[in-house]
Structure formats: structure tokens, C-alpha cells
Amino acid sequence: GENVEQHPSTLSVQEGDSAVIKCTYSDSASNYFPWYKQELGKRPQLIIDIRSNVGEKKDQRIAVTLNKTAKHFSLHITETQPEDSAVYFCAATKYNFNKFYFGSGTKLNVKP
């Protein structure tokens, strides 16, 4: 099966700085990579996703990049704000398959 590794486990940045979270996956057939944000005591929420036919996707201050050859994908948050503080999970899955493989999570702390 798929194995998704996520780093770092914790990340502290100063407000306004950028944050980068990296994930690697093992199954070259995986073709869909969503990112979820989970605030304390709340549900995971989909913030951005990327499919394997695209190398980069942006949505305002967040972006995701995908390197299929190296089998890794990254979440980039620019101009971080205190409300970005949360746990972020990456995930991977493949064509016509409903099981998502989650990374272990990154706790992001944005210091004012």
C-alpha cells in the first residue's frame, strides 16, 4: 500500500514569514494529493489539492507543488498569520480509489 511521510512534525514561524511543509509518497500510481487544516477541536478542512497532471497550484497565500519523479509534494504558506496556526495533514490517493493515506501531521505555530 501507499506510505506517506510528512515533515516537519512541528514548525514555528514569525508572523509574516513563509512556512513550508513537505510530504513524500511511495506509490507512483497515486495521482491526487489534498491538504487538510485542522484547528484545535475542529474538523479537518480541505484547503488545497493537486492532481498528478499539474506541477503547481496556488490559491491566494497557499500553494502546493508536486514532483512526480521524486514522489514528493509540498505546501507553501506565504505571509503567515496567527490564524494559520493549526495542524496540517497531507494525503495521497489514486485513481478510482476512495482510501486516502494521510501523513502524520505538522503542527504550525505562527507567532505574532
Partner 1 sequence: DTEVTQTPKHLVMGMTNKKSLKCEQHMGHRAMYWYKQKAKKPPELMFVYSYEKLSINESVPSRFSPECPNSSLLNLHLHALQPEDSALYLCASSHPGQGEFNYGYTFGSGTRLTVV
Question: Minimal distance in Å, beta carbon 112 to partner 1?
Answer: 23
Question: Minimal distance in Å, beta carbon 2 to partner 1?
Answer: 12
Q: Which is nearer to partner 1, 17 or 58 (CB)?
A: 58
Q: Which is nearer to partner 1, 16 or 33 (CB)?
A: 33
DSSP state of 99: P
8 Å CB contact between 19 and 87 = no
Q: Distance of CA 75 to CAs 21, 23, 35, 91, 92, Å?
A: 5, 9, 8, 11, 13
- Short-list 81, 112, 89, 78, CA closest to 22: 89
Q: Which is nearer to partner 1, 3 or 18 (CB)?
A: 3
List residues binding partner 1 (CB under 8 A). Answer: 31-32, 34, 36, 42-46, 49, 51, 87, 89, 93-100, 102-105, 107
